[in-house]
Amino acid sequence: MSILQKIRQFPAKSMRRNVPATQIPGEISKEIMELQDEIKFLTSYSSDTIYRLRYDTMSYDYISPSIVRLLGFTEEEVKRLNFRSLILETRIVTSGMKKVDSFAELEKRRKSGDVNKWQADYLVRTRDGRKIWISDISYPWFDEAGRIIGSVGTLRDITERIGVEEKVREELAKIAHTDVLTDLANRREFFTRLDGELKRINRTHSEVSVIIADIDHFKKVNDAFGHATGDQVLMEISGVIKSCLRDTDLAARLGGEEFGILLPETPMEGAFWVAERIRLAIAKHNFKAGDKQMPLGVTVSLGVASANAGEDLDCTELYKMADTRLYIAKNTGRNQVSIDEIDIMH
C-alpha cells in the first residue's frame, strides 16, 4: 500500500483539524513526515518557488525553500513581511502587460473568484538590493465548501527573459525607424520628425530647415565598380553627414542615393552653411574602390528650404521646395548648394 493510500485511510476531519503528528497512528505519522520531508527536498531544488497564499491575512502559509535563492529571504521572513512592499512594478500578463498602480480592485476580483488564473510579472527588490523580474502564476484555492480562501502558485525569476524581450523590442523599433544599410533614419522617420517640427514651430514661433542631398553621378560608381562599392560609398557619406551635424539634427536616407537632413531651430542662412560644410567634407573625403583601392572623386548636390512660424507649410510642401532647389543644383553644374532661385556655384 502506498503512502498516499495509507494517508487517505486516516479520517479526513482529523487531517483538516491539523491534528499533531503525535496523535496520528505511528506508521502513518512517520510516513506523513517522510512525505513532507520529500516534498520540501524536491521543492528546495526546483527553480520555481511554490507558495500558498491566504486571502484572510494576505500572507503565505507555505512557501518553498527556494525562495531564499530567489529573493534572499528565508521562508519564515517571507511569511512575516508584506510581499507587496518588495514590488516596484507590476504588469498583468492576461491584460496585455498592462501596468498596475493599485491592487485594491484586482484583489477584490481575485477574492470573489472572478479570476480563474492569475498571471503577472513583478519587478521586485531582493534582500541585497538588486532588482529582478519574477513571474507569478497562480490559481484559486478553495475550501471544502467551495469558497475561495486563497491562491496556490509559483514564482520564477524571469530577469534574463525580460532583458532579451526588451532588447528585441529595441531592435524592432530601430528597424522600423532606421535605414538598414547606413544606420541613418529612414524616410518614414524623417517625415514623421519633420511633421512634428513644423507643428512645434507654430507653437514656439521658431524656424526649421531641411536639406536634400543627392550623390552626383552615383550610377556611374555602381556601373564601374559594382554595388558593393556603391554601398560602401553610401555608408561613408552617411558618416560624413552625421559628423557635420548637431545632436539635435536628424540625418536620413530617403531612398537610393538621396539623403535628408532636418535642422530644428535653424534659419535659411544657417542651413546653407551646414549644407556647404557637408558638401566640402564629402568632396574632400578619400573614397576608394576595388582591391587596389582606386581613389573615387565623389561629390553631392544639395537643396535647402526653411519654414517659419505662420507660413502653414506641411512636410510635403517643404520637402518639395528643397527638392526643387536640389534639381537646380544638379542641373547647373552639380557639387553645389542651391537656395531658392539663386544658384551658389563652386
Nearest 5 degrees, angle CA 142-CA 144-CA 146?
50
φ, ψ of residue 120 in degrees (nearest 5): -145, 155
Distance CA 33, CA 104 (A): 39
* Cell numbers representing residue 219 in the block: 550610377
171 catalytically annotated: no
- In angstroms, how far apart are the furthest CA atoms of the chain? 106
> What contacts 266, CB < 8 A, 6 or more positions away?
207, 208, 209, 274, 306
HEC letters along 242-253: HHCCCCCCEEEE
In this structure, which amino acid lies at residue 50?
I
Q: What is the C-alpha R_g of the chain? A: 34
Distance CA 120, CA 87 (A): 12
Question: Is the separation of the CB atoms in 329 and 343 below 8 Å?
Answer: yes
> What contacts 137, CB < 8 A, 6 or more positions away?
117, 118, 119, 153, 154, 156
Distance CA 188, CA 103 (A): 40
Question: Is the separation of the CB atoms in 332 and 343 below 8 Å?
Answer: yes
Side by side, which strands form the sheet with 300-308?
250-255, 258-264, 207-215, 300-308, 337-339, 342-344
In this structure, which amino acid lies at residue 1?
M
Q: 38, 257, 265, 311: which is the annotated catalytic residue?
A: 257
What residues act catalytically?
257
